[in-house]
Amino acid sequence: MTSVKPSKKPGKAAAKTAPVPVPIPAPRLEKLAKAELVEMIAQRAGLTKKRAGDAFDAALEVILETLKSGGKVGLPGFGTLEVRETQARVGVRPGTSEKIDIPAGKKLAFKIANDFKVDLKS
């Protein structure tokens, strides 16, 4: 969009300015859907989408069962997943500054592999 600035002195024509290029932001990456991921796996592994989907579902089941039983899941070149226990603590509710009790629980922790971290930075 070009804009023309009005002249400060009456009777003179307004000076035209060259349009300033507006940088276009890079497109944000969308979330990769399961169907797209399965399709990519099928293409790269030379499998049908059905077989790739079954293998993907089986891998997720094994990962979930391992984590539920207290184990760690190491994916070389990617990272390690594990469930960690959190302690009960006192927190502060934002806005009201009211103190609240936060019960103990579990959280999923991910530690990125060093090779993957280097690849992401480059």
| 120 CB-near residues (< 8 Å, 6+ apart) | 112
Res 62 pLDDT > 80: yes
Distance from C-alpha of 89 to C-alpha of 103, rounded to nearest angstrom = 7
Residue ranges of domains in the chain: 32-69, 72-122
Distance from C-alpha of 121 to C-alpha of 107, rounded to nearest angstrom = 26
Q: pLDDT (tens digit, 9 = 90+) per residue, 72-116?
A: 999 999 999 999 999 999 999 998 999 999 999 999 999 999 999
Q: How confident is the model at residue 60 (pLDDT cuts 50, 70, 90)?
A: very high
pLDDT at 30 (0 to 100): 78
Res 58 pLDDT > 80: yes
pLDDT at 31 (0 to 100): 82
* CATH ID of 72-122, from 3.40.50.1970, 4.10.520.10, 3.30.70.100, 1.10.287.1080: 4.10.520.10
Q: How confident is the model at residue 24 (pLDDT cuts 50, 70, 90)?
A: very low
